[in-house]
Amino acid sequence: MIKVISGADESVFPDIFEQAAILRHSVFVEEMGWEDLRRPDGRERDQFDDAYAVHHFCMRNDRVIGYIRMLPTLRPYLLSEVFPDLCEGAPPRAANCYELTRYCVAPAYREGKRGVSSAGSELIAGFVEWGLACGVNRVILEFEPMWVLRAMQLRFLVRPLGFQQKIGDQQIVATEVTFDKRTLATIREFRGHPYPVVEFCGQLAEQIPRQAYAS
Amino acid sequence: MSKFDDTLSLIEEIERTSTPDAVCQQLLNLSSQYGLTCLLAGTLPRPRETASKIRDQNVFLNGWPMGWAERYFERNYIFIDPIATKLQSDLTAFTWDQARIDPAVATDANRMFGEATEFGLCAGFAIPFVTLEGSIASISLGGQRIELPPRAKGMLSLISTYTMGRAIQLRNNTKQQTLYRPLTHREIEAMRWAADGKTEWEISVIMSISEHTAAKHLNNARTKLGAVNRVQAIANAIRSGIIR
């Protein structure tokens, strides 16, 4: 299950946010070596973890084992502030467009050598469900070019925002994916799991009518 | 127009293509300016897979010179080809001359390269991919004499990714169509009118048939589409591209 919680509700769900910060630190700093993000307390967070961020937590037995963060593009976000060179034109800014960052899955849940793990595909199903429920149908990602093919296989409409560039050890391409109900159906078919995965918590549960995502 | 705008419009053209040959041609139009005039795209076969199975299941786009792909698979060259081996070892694009020949198969590999030269394949560029399911796929571009500046490699890799994505989408579309027993022309026509909201009686008038025959066409289509009612039949027909 994917718990979707607004950054404004961090104080309501301190334990979940804490687990996610530890997971982020262990994946991005200790495993991938993004030293800029290293923090003495072993909890990774940055200037974008504010009240406007929307956090998606992939849960197994009440533990956070996977995570993504969605940032509204109407406010400063990673591509516009940190990686503007990845974008050829002006970075997109629109109410229906969010940026996906900090995608990670705990090592124990990355089954399969090269394919997408079930936690990974659940996070993908989750962000599309979340988007369709709250009027977001475009998502910006800075990812390895390998993901372009996977996104097309899942019936996202995929467009690069610039040419790929080397950042650290990785080739990264800024990309915008657009989705609709057909995308969600394809993802569910790939997962062999036809049911919704998202649970809105805190203030989002009050804002978003249940019927918007229960189908 | 800037280089990037060119790239974007090419990607859009690739997504508008509706046949594997058209996808293939779009990429070749771009790559030919670097001397890469032919290509093969697909997934790597399992060890000891038969040539006919490889052609059906693994080859997505065949733009090799006439006769070469057939010979390549009949003679099991794929299993000794240094390029295919390198595709599995590291997942970055490379020119063919960077693939190391395994001494154990050197005689066969050199014979293969010799024959490829006779077909006009002297040099090339191979781009590996990983599919959603975790299998390794690739597009291999080749030609007689190639001239590939570093800048072009990045762009060619990017466009190739979209080419591969489109090739897989087109395959899945046809796969879905063949899930169902084929509908007759009259059944498809009746379904089209039904999808436009016409009643059995209206369809019978439009198609100049009896109301009973119109109903029969629709019921046959429903059965073939594995649907429990007409609404689901129309949904299945649209989803699988039988009607729009």
DSSP-derived pairing of the beta strands A54-60 and A63-72: antiparallel
Residue A109's CB is within 10 A of a number of other CB atoms, namely: 15
Could A88 and B129 be called an inter-chain contact, meaning their C-beta atoms sit closer than 8 Å?
A: no
Asked whether residue B115 falls in the same domain as residue B214, the answer is no
Asked whether residue B215 falls in the same domain as residue B165, the answer is no
Summarised one tens digit per residue, pLDDT across range A141-169 is 999 988 999 999 999 999 999 988 888 88
> Measured between CA atoms, how close is A146 to chain B, in angstroms?
6
Among residues of chain A, what percentage have pLDDT more than 90?
81
Q: Nearest Cβ partner of A163 from B91, B135, B154?
A: B154
Give pLDDT, residue A18.
97
Cβ atoms of residues A101 and A78 within 8 Å: yes
Give pLDDT, residue B175.
63
**Mean pLDDT of all residues in A79-96:** 95
Q: How far apart are CA B12 and CA B28, in angstroms?
A: 15
Q: List the single best residue of A152, A156, A172, A176 to mutate versus B (max B Cβ within 10 A).
A: A152
Give pLDDT, residue B176.
58
> Is B238 an 8 Å CB contact of chain A?
no
Give pLDDT, residue A169.
82
Q: List the single best residue of B161, B170, B176 to mutate versus A (max A Cβ within 10 A).
A: B161
Amino acid at B239: R
CATH number for the domain that contains residue B172: 3.30.450.80
Q: Nearest Cβ partner of B161 from A88, A114, A148?
A: A148
Could B91 and A146 be called an inter-chain contact, meaning their C-beta atoms sit closer than 8 Å?
A: yes
CATH number for the domain that contains residue A134: 3.40.630.30
pTM of this structure? 0.80
Q: What are the distances in angstroms from CA A2 to CA A55, A101, A121?
A: 10, 16, 11
Cβ atoms of residues B129 and A147 within 8 Å: no
Cβ atoms of residues B164 and B11 within 8 Å: no
Among residues of chain B, what percentage have pLDDT more than 90?
62
Among B145, B177, B209, give the residue marking a domain's end: B177
User: Binning pLDDT at 50, 70 and 90, where does residue A193 land?
Assistant: confident
Asked whether residue B123 falls in the same domain as residue B21, the answer is yes
Asked whether residue B47 falls in the same domain as residue B130, the answer is yes
Amino acid at B219: N
Could A149 and B154 be called an inter-chain contact, meaning their C-beta atoms sit closer than 8 Å?
A: no
Any domain includes B16: yes
Any domain includes B105: yes
Instruction: Enumerate the residues of chain B whose CB falls inside 8 A of the CB of residue A115.
Output: 130-134
- Return phi, psi of residue A201, to 5°: -125, 160
Instruction: Enumerate the residues of chain B whose CB falls inside 8 A of the CB of residue A146.
Output: 91, 129-130
Residue A212's CB is within 10 A of a number of other CB atoms, namely: 14
Q: How far apart are CA B198 and CA B193, in angstroms?
A: 6
Provide Rg for chain A, Cα atoms.
16
Give pLDDT, residue B134.
85
Residue A146: which domain range?
A: 2-212
The string over A136-175, giving b where at least 16 C-beta atoms fall within 10 Å of a residue's C-beta and e elsewhere, is bbbbbbbbebbbbbbbbbbbbebbbbbbbeeeeeebbbbb
Could B11 and A164 be called an inter-chain contact, meaning their C-beta atoms sit closer than 8 Å?
A: no
Among residues of chain A, what percentage have pLDDT more than 70?
96
Q: How far apart are CA B44 and CA B139, in angstroms?
A: 11
Number of domains in chain A: 1
Q: Nearest Cβ partner of A115 from B129, B133, B166?
A: B133
Cβ atoms of residues B131 and B139 within 8 Å: no
Among B177, B203, B222, give the residue marking a domain's end: B177
> DSSP letters of B146-180?
----HHHHHHHHHHHHHHHHHHHHHHHHHHHHTTS
pLDDT at A126 over 50: yes
Instruction: Enumerate the residues of chain A whose CB falls inside 8 A of the CB of residue B166.
Output: 152
pLDDT at A132 over 90: yes
Give pLDDT, residue B184.
84
> Is B241 an 8 Å CB contact of chain A?
no
Cβ atoms of residues A104 and A67 within 8 Å: yes
Summarised one tens digit per residue, pLDDT across range B163-212 is 999 999 998 876 655 567 778 888 989 999 999 999 999 999 999 999 99
Q: What are the distances in angstroms from CA A151 to CA A155, A190, B60, B68?
A: 7, 12, 18, 32
User: Binning pLDDT at 50, 70 and 90, where does residue B1 land?
Assistant: very low
Q: Nearest Cβ partner of B165 from A153, A164, A173?
A: A153
Q: How far apart are CA B240 and CA B231, in angstroms?
A: 14
Number of domains in chain B: 2
Lowest mean per-residue pLDDT among A21-25, B90-94, B191-195, B199-203: B90-94
Asked whether residue B138 falls in the same domain as residue B56, the answer is yes
Give pLDDT, residue B181.
75
Summarised one tens digit per residue, pLDDT across range B216-240 is 999 999 988 888 888 889 988 887 7
Summarised one tens digit per residue, pLDDT across range B111-168 is 999 999 999 999 999 999 998 888 899 999 999 999 999 888 888 999 999 999 999 9
DSSP assignment, residue B134? S
Determine the 3-state secondary structure of B9 from DSSP.
helix
Number of H helices, E strands in chain B: 11, 5
Cβ atoms of residues B146 and B34 within 8 Å: yes
Q: Mean of the per-residue pLDDT values for chain A?
A: 93
Paired with A178 in beta bridges are A138, A157
- Return phi, psi of residue A101, to 5°: -135, 170
Give pLDDT, residue A171.
87
> Measured between CA atoms, how close is A12 to chain B, in angstroms?
36
Residue labelled with tokens 């050199």 = B110
Asked whether residue B167 falls in the same domain as residue B195, the answer is no
Q: List the single best residue of B130, B135, B139, B155 to mutate versus A (max A Cβ within 10 A).
A: B130
Residue B212: which domain range?
A: 185-239
Determine the 3-state secondary structure of A55 from DSSP.
strand
Amino acid at A99: E
DSSP-derived pairing of the beta strands B123-130 and B38-43: unpaired
**Mean pLDDT of all residues in A113-121:** 84
Among B177, B193, B212, give the residue marking a domain's end: B177
Q: Nearest Cβ partner of A145 from B7, B133, B158?
A: B158
Asked whether residue B171 falls in the same domain as residue B191, the answer is no
Element (H, E) at B199: none
Asked whether residue B124 falls in the same domain as residue B192, the answer is no
Any domain includes B244: no
Q: Which residues of A touch B (CB under 8 A)?
A: 88, 112-116, 145-146, 148-155, 157-160, 162-164, 173, 190
Asked whether residue B152 falls in the same domain as residue B191, the answer is no
Q: Nearest Cβ partner of B165 from A113, A148, A162?
A: A148
- Return phi, psi of residue A111, to 5°: -70, 160
Asked whether residue B189 falls in the same domain as residue B150, the answer is no
Could B154 and A113 be called an inter-chain contact, meaning their C-beta atoms sit closer than 8 Å?
A: no
CA B3 to centroid of chain Cα atoms: 26
**Mean pLDDT of all residues in A2-24:** 97
Residue with the bigger pLDDT between A61 and A115: it is A61
> DSSP letters of A76-114?
--HHHHT-GGG-SSPPP--TTEEEEEEEEE-GGG--SSS
| For A173, nearest residue in chain B (alpha carbons) | B158
**Mean pLDDT of all residues in B87-95:** 88
> Measured between CA atoms, how close is A69 to chain B, in angstroms?
22
Asked whether residue B107 falls in the same domain as residue B226, the answer is no
Could B166 and A162 be called an inter-chain contact, meaning their C-beta atoms sit closer than 8 Å?
A: no
Q: Nearest Cβ partner of A115 from B134, B162, B168?
A: B134
CATH number for the domain that contains residue B194: 1.10.10.10
